[in-house]
Amino acid sequence: MSRKSLFGLAVVFFFLAISQADACPVCFQSEREESRWAFYATTVLLTCLPLSLVGGAVLWLRKRFNQLKDELVN
């Protein structure tokens, strides 16, 4: 079997195998508007939290570096 036919067969199997799955509480609890908003809010929280933590740490280290630099110069 050629590579093209194998790829085509894989695509067909992929689409045939798909079915709906409720894999997490959010999927089957999100009938309520509040749940949907809670999901959005926590997605934003968990996305921004690590970025702000790392960003904050880098800024603090930079400030500390400049502080030490000034101390050494003076």
List of residues contacting another protein (CB under 8 A): 25-26, 29-30, 32, 34-35, 37-39, 41-42, 45-46, 49-50, 53-54, 57, 61, 64-65, 68-69, 71-73
Place of tokens 């790829």: 7
Least distance in Å: CB of 22 to another protein?
Answer: 13
Rounded alpha-carbon distances, angstroms, from residue 35 to 12, 41, 43, 48: 35, 10, 12, 20
Rounded to whole angstroms, the Cα distance separating 21 from 62 reads 47
- Taking the least distance from each CB to another protein, the nearer of 13 and 62 is 62
- Taking the least distance from each CB to another protein, the nearer of 7 and 37 is 37
